[in-house]
Structure 1
Amino acid sequence: MTSRRNFKHQVRARSAKTGESYTSALRHFRAAPSESAPGSVRLAVAQSLVRNDPGDAEALRESGRGVRALMREAAGQGARVVHFPEGAICFPDKRVMSVAGPGAVGPADWERCQWSVLRSELAAIAETARELGLWSVVSSVHRLTGPHRPHNSLYVVSDRGEVVTRYDERLLSKTKVSYMYSPGRAPVTFDVDGVRFGCLLGMEIHYPELFAEYERLDADCVLFSTGGTLGNTAAQAQGHAAVNSYWVSLAVPVQDSAATRSGIVAPNGDWLAQCPAGGSPSVAVVDLDDGSEAAVEAVAYARPWRRAARAGLYAEHQVVDPRSEDRTAAF
């Protein structure tokens, strides 16, 4: 997929070499889309059981065991990367955490969190990632130095069992930013076998500018983890994938799967695979392959064309004409 990220440069280089316009050079590349189809990565998206009390040590351990079981299931199906929903270890409930709760929402009491147990489970997940040779994207609370509130985060654990980066939710809900978390500051990408992934979390499905940002950062796939999803989340995931011509992985808890299921959307907006509705924790596995029919159409054609259009393609075709300038001109 490195060639896809260099697509615009290839078009410009041909234009400079041959003297043809950017549009003509673009047609040459569009005529041979297979040239921009360099590889495949197998991605698994998980639908796991999420618990809401970080003060319950045994619940944290149960979540850790559940995550590791799904990691093994994903690896058994040949996955290279596995992606989990928001709160994979714990999705702290605003009333459970409230100093005024459970009857009222107020500032979260993070002293209730069993931090040592949480760290132990995350360490065990990292060790399992190393054993399986499996990149694992797992959501958890990330503790900051007091008195700062923690981040709501996605840890990216490599196939060596190392945390290589972390994404912190930036556009938080009103309750999260008022009472629970410190917002993050920046987008995060990571590469596996030449495929670039971007990360989003929580309620960020509602902000198309964040998905557009990852298109500009040359993401091939955006991993979006959420908990307590709304009914239109799946449709929004499809829209973001189609508009930006990349894959979108949507990870939700088992508890929400009757309304919205975990799954992976192709760059043309079609679902490639989804977990079952309700029932037991599960994974859905897909090959992110630029040679697929959907990818050829959306990735090799639509995405480069949109980039060319945004780069000023139309300027040379614009005209100055009195009938154009007069907005009230008759038919």
Structure 2
Amino acid sequence: MRVALAQIITGREPDRNLDLVREYAGQAKAGGADLVVFPEATMRAFGNSLLDIAEPLDGPWAAQVRGIAAELGIVIVAGMFTPGTTAAGDRNDRKVRNTLLVAGPGVDTSYDKIHLYDAFGFAESDTVDAGTEPVTFDVGGVTFGLATCYDVRFPDLFTENAERGAAVNIVCASWGAGPGKVEQWQLLSRARAADSTTFVLACGQGNPASVGLETKGSAPTGVGHSAVVSPFGDVLQELDGAPGMLFADLDPAVVDDARAKLPVLANRHKF
């Protein structure tokens, strides 16, 4: 299966960000990809209000993503924001959910980010409700697991996805910049692949500084370095900080080989 990672830099306007989805999804299809991954916050970049653009999964922004996927015949994974909910299950107008939408031929699902980024001076939980359940989906006989940004620091989500059948874990991110942060992103992506003996598709927002954009405050707006990592933790391909796209051909037999040689899932103990 051929996959593509679209390392984009989104802005404030959801419609303009949709234009990026359309452009890069078209490039992915032209390159032979069956699935294209976009980063967290594809709908709107962090550092902007999220409450005023959050919409349900059957709202107009998600509908347009589905339309692009249907028109091109490709599966799209993209970060958006959906309304938060109260304990009673009603809409919470003070919070959103950090959601990954997955749409395309034979696929329509979503994942709400479980681990919220309350770190390095940023408090995602002030405005975002946490998800509670792992999510996997199938494309072309291959099972994919989903994760978002800060989730990459928590190995159990990746091993849980693997135990649910995932041969590939997708991590969509808008990684925060700072000393050592690129190295942490690289290290954690490799570690989670080795922990779960899955391919990891680590797709992040590009670094705004790479195109001359200034960022203010502590909002995590991206560092780039999207990568494809093997089930042994080897980096197969990696971008730098600038916007771009990479392609990878994933062979599930590589996962089978890794799990035969390094059966960490079979050997691990749950405490």
Report TM bin, short chain.
Answer: 0.7 to 0.9
Q: 228, 233, 241: which one pairs with 1:264?
A: 228
Q: Which has the higher helix share?
A: 1
Distance 1:170 1:257, change over 3 A: farther
**CA apart distance, 1:50:** 1.9
Residue aligning to 1:125: 65
Task: Determine if contact 2:39/2:174 at 8 Å carries over to the other structure.
Answer: yes
Q: Structure 1 length as normaliser, TM-score?
A: 0.67
Structure 1 counterpart of 2:151: 204
Say whether residues 1:158 and 2:104 are aligned partners.
yes
User: Residues 75-94 of structure 1: matches in 2 within 5 Å?
Assistant: 75-93=29-47
CA deviations on 1:274-316 (whole Å, 9 max, x unpaired) are 23x233x322111110345xx46413322xx33443479xxxx
Which of 292, 299, 302 is the matching residue for 2:259? 299
Specify the alignment match of 1:43 in structure 2.
3
Gaps in structure 2 of 5+ consecutive residues: 85-90, 211-222
**Aligned pair in 2 of structure 1 residues 290, 115: CA closer, same or farther (>3 Å)?**
closer
Q: In structure 2, what is the equivalent of residue 173 of structure 1?
A: 117
Alignment of 1:283 onto 2:241: no
Aligned-residue RMSD, C-alpha: 2.5
Aligned to 1:123, the other structure's residue is in SS state helix
SS in 1 for 2:250: strand
Per-residue CA deviations over 1:40-75 (Å, capped at 9, x if unaligned) read x21111101122x4xxxxx22111101110000111
Larger radius of gyration: 1
What is the correspondence of 1:305-324 to structure 2 with a 5 Å cutoff? 305-310=263-268
Moved over 6 A (4+): none
Q: Secondary structure at the match of 2:186?
A: helix
**1:48-103 Cα deviation digits (max 9, x unpaired):** 1122x4xxxxx22111101110000111111111111111121332xx43xxxxxx
Residue identity opposite 2:200 in structure 1: V
1:204 and 1:114 map into 2 onto residues whose CA distance is 21
Matched residue count:
242
> What pairs up with 1:11-50 in 2 under 5 angstroms?
41-50=1-10
> Which residue of the partner structure matches residue 186 of structure 1?
133
TM-score, with normalisation over the residues of structure 2?
0.81
Which protein has the bigger strand share? 2
Find the counterpart in structure 2 of residue 254 from structure 1. 206
Unaligned 5+ runs, structure 1: 1-40, 54-58, 98-107, 313-331
Hey, what's the Cα distance between the residues in 2 that align with 1:92 and 1:256?
A: 12
1:9-46 deviation digits (Å, cap 9, x = unpaired): xxxxxxxxxxxxxxxxxxxxxxxxxxxxxxxx211111
- The question of whether the paired residues in 2 share the 8 Å contact of 1:148 and 1:182 is answered with no
